[in-house]
Amino acid sequence: MPKPLFYHVDVNSAFLSWEAVALSRTTPDAPDIRTIPSAVCGDPKSRHGIILAKSIPAKAYGVTTGEPVSQALKKCPQLLLLPSHYGLYVENSRKLMAHLRRYAPVVEQFSVDEAFCDMTGTGRLYPDPIAFAHTLKDEIYQAYGFTVNIGISSNRLLAKMASDFEKPNKVHTLFPEEIETKMWPLPVQDLLFVGKNTANRLHSLGIHTIGALANSNPELLKNHLGKMGITAWQYACGRCSETEFSHTPENKGYSNATTLSEDVTDASQAKEILLSLCETVASRLRYDGKKAGVVSVTIRSTDFENHSKQTSLYSHTNVTEELYTEVCRLFDALWDHTPIRLLGVATAKAEEETAYQYDLFDNGKHEKLEKLDAAIDKVRARYGDDSIKRATLLNNSYKPRRK
């Protein structure tokens, strides 16, 4: 029985890297934005929205992914801001996944810019998995112009942790026997899925490193952090279940989720976020010429409990407003008013575009909404994702990552 072996392939500053490659093709004399303080963000002109990706020089100024653009500009006034172009990211993502499938028996896309490659049993094809990872990394750069990090381990958690080590354009290993020297000295907030609030609660317990967390009493952690305490302890020990990092295959379902920087306790705020998520999911469906027959909502509470609810749609659709209406209905039925840590929207049973099944009370609304979405897609494809916004989102600085 071959030992499990996983690669985690992660594009370095994906959105910014893909913008840089596109810019080099259209404007060869332009500076490489990856070598100067720059960032891809929401609506650069109005300075609303958040930082979606930043260059390494921008990171040196303290610019972080997910922070408001106005805050990033205070840290780095000369920061070059670029609008996002979702179609460009989808195109590059597909190229990357297709390339990985040439070599890996199983490729599990984890987001638009990262994937797990299950390399178990490929020892005869690639006798030295580390050497082959370097070859794969270099081949991707030569073929497409952007760099990746590759993490290698015996499970998905450790492979993903390894890919987050020194960047860019690196290969790192994190096998179980390396956990103590490579992972345990890291700050506890560097552990996967440990957010700011959880890190602060761990600090209050005197736990400041991943190693200290791994060597803590799990019952103590459970008493203070609930289920999240046990999950964090297991991750610190390098353990994860097979299903925790598995996503629905790309051609079966379309989804988007976001871990919130602050707990959400207001339904109207949650629904604004859900609308943004619905816009992303619906635009992906339309881009692929698909319509979904099922939609679901996921809520993760601050104690790390997941709650999901789904429904079958009256007719397959890719219209944002129609998905959002059902999502709000599901949210209202699901939410028990506990603080929200994560929100997600997912669709399933996606099929090639088929005729819409009208009801007696439609009165042409579906066709109008389809035309509206088509017009919005056209504007955003040309001028960027933030070139046009729904009125309900104008004063909302939140924008989900296009994953």
Strand 171-173 with 148-153, pairing: parallel
In angstroms, the CA 59 to CA 312 distance is 44
Among this protein's residues, is 180 annotated catalytic? no
| pLDDT tens sequence across 106-138 | 998 887 889 999 999 999 999 999 999 999 999
CB 344 within 8 A of CB 298: yes
| pLDDT tens sequence across 220-243 | 999 988 888 998 999 999 998 766
CB 258 within 8 A of CB 401: yes
Give me the pLDDT at residue 123, please.
Answer: 92
In angstroms, the CA 116 to CA 118 distance is 6
pLDDT along the chain (403 residues), means of 10: 93 92 90 93 64 90 85 93 84 92 91 90 94 97 96 96 94 97 96 83 95 95 88 92 57 71 85 88 85 90 81 87 93 92 87 55 62 70 57 50 40
Match 């060597």 to its residue by tokens: 215
In angstroms, the CA 59 to CA 72 distance is 10
All structural domains of the chain with their residue ranges: 1-178, 184-236, 254-393
DSSP 14-78: HHHHHHHHHHHHH-TTS--GGGSSEEEES-TTTT-SBEEEE-HHHHHTT--TTSBHHHHHHH-TT
Give me the pLDDT at residue 355, please.
Answer: 47
Cβ–Cβ contacts within 10 Å for residue 265, how many? 12
Give me the pLDDT at residue 249, please.
Answer: 43
The superfamily CATH assigns to domain 184-236 is: 5' to 3' exonuclease, C-terminal subdomain (1.10.150.20)
Question: Is this structure's pTM higher than 0.75?
Answer: no
108, 114, 250, 326: which is the annotated catalytic residue? 114
Hey, is 119 helix, strand or coil?
Answer: coil
Residue 110 Rama label (left phi>0; alpha psi -120 to 50; beta) = alpha
What values do phi and psi take at 180, rounded to 5? -60, -40
As assigned by CATH, the class of the 254-393 domain is alpha beta
Half-sphere exposure of 385 (CA within 13 A, CB side): 26
| Nearest CA among 14, 21, 63 for reference residue 167 | 14
In angstroms, the CA 295 to CA 253 distance is 10
In angstroms, the CA 129 to CA 304 distance is 35
As assigned by CATH, the class of the 1-178 domain is alpha beta
> Which tokens hold the place of 376?
């919005």
